[in-house]
Amino acid sequence: MSPWLIALLLGVIEGITEFIPVSSTGHLLISEHWIPRQSDLFNIVIQCGAVVAVIPLFKERFRKIIFNWREPATRDFIVKSFVAFALTCAGGYVLDKGHFKLPESVRPVAIALIIGGVLFVVVEAFLKNKPASDSITWTVAIAVGLAQLVAAVFPGTSRSGATILIALVLGLSRPFATEFSFIVGIPTMLAAGALKIFKALHHADPTAAPENWSMLAMTTIIAAIVSFIAVKWLLRFIQTHSFAGFGWYRIIFGVVILLAFGNEVSKTPPITLPASAVHQAAR
């Protein structure tokens, strides 16, 4: 397969699925059955490109954060966003020190997709015609931070899906739940990406094939453009629609990949996180 065709396909997949709550991990994992698997560095860089691209869509929020940070409402938003981000970082540090890793298999990803889809459908049905709040409470901020950890532990959950879902359950309106999820997700994913890039560059496998930097650059640009378009569409879509459609998509997609690829053997055995590792990492 041509490197430029690979760049186009991976860029489109990453751009569409990074923020929309359908799991970029699940889609990229399944794409590896037809598209050659890329390096971890490659996947991290294109993810960061997709993340940076959506920042202009929240220019009013960032303008307030930069120029109006003294206003009580803006300070409140900044502090709660930082707490959600810090909570995720602290939990991620513990998990990283404990060397926790789930099996690289489509089965857990498919199951996570289905469970998340069912929850979206059920929650949207429960919340139908019920009043929603535009106020981000401390409960929402903490829950969003924890939801990001759940998404990190269980591939296929979708970071945006988990955070938006918990915010909806706690009474936040769809537009505000989506905005808060994305704003908190930007530093979270960039920080995780920067750390992984640092590790990849400093612990590179000397026997691995050299990175195709031109293809990487092209894929990152495509992912950024597609991500910008996808998120801009989503922000308009949720003004008049629920997330139930994404829930049904997750259910159908999860069932399909479970039936088609669910019998594949895991590439890596599951690793449990002993209590001693948690205690040691928390010191």
Measured CA to CA, the distance from residue 82 to residue 187 in angstroms comes to 9
Whether residue 139 contacts residue 80, with contact meaning beta carbons closer than 8 Å, is answered with no
Whether residue 39 contacts residue 208, with contact meaning beta carbons closer than 8 Å, is answered with yes
Structure confidence at residue 100 (pLDDT):
72
Residues 6+ apart with CB under 8 A from 84: 141, 142, 144, 145, 148, 184
Query: Higher confidence at residue 146 or residue 92?
Result: 146
Q: Which of 5-14, 171-180, 207-216, 218-227 has the lowest mean pLDDT?
A: 207-216
238: DSSP letter: T
| DSSP per-residue codes, 152-199 | HHSTTS-HHHHHHHHHHHTTB-HHHHHHHHHHHHHHHHHHHHHHHHHH
276 band by pLDDT with thresholds 50, 70 and 90: very low
Structure confidence at residue 213 (pLDDT):
84
Residue in the structure block whose two tokens are 């991500």: 227
Query: Higher confidence at residue 195 or residue 55?
Result: 55
When pLDDT is averaged across residues 200-223 and rounded to a whole number, the result is 82
Query: Higher confidence at residue 25 or residue 13?
Result: 13
Model confidence, pTM: 0.86
Q: Which of 31-35, 84-88, 94-98, 100-104 has the lowest mean pLDDT?
A: 100-104
**Number of Cβ atoms within 10 Å of the Cβ of 248:** 14
Statement: residue 176 has pLDDT above 90: yes
pLDDT in tens, 250-272: 999 999 988 988 676 444 444 33
When pLDDT is averaged across residues 10-23 and rounded to a whole number, the result is 94
pLDDT in tens, 114-166: 999 999 999 999 998 888 999 999 999 999 999 999 998 888 899 999 999 99
Query: Higher confidence at residue 29 or residue 219?
Result: 219
Structure confidence at residue 129 (pLDDT):
84
When pLDDT is averaged across residues 169-193 and rounded to a whole number, the result is 93
When pLDDT is averaged across residues 25-47 and rounded to a whole number, the result is 84
Statement: residue 278 has pLDDT above 50: no
Whether residue 10 contacts residue 31, with contact meaning beta carbons closer than 8 Å, is answered with yes
Average pLDDT across the chain, whole number:
87
The H or E element containing residue 101 is none
Percent residues over pLDDT 70 in the chain: 89
Statement: residue 232 has pLDDT above 50: yes
Structure confidence at residue 205 (pLDDT):
66
Measured CA to CA, the distance from residue 55 to residue 182 in angstroms comes to 9
Name the CA radius of gyration of the chain, rounded.
Answer: 19
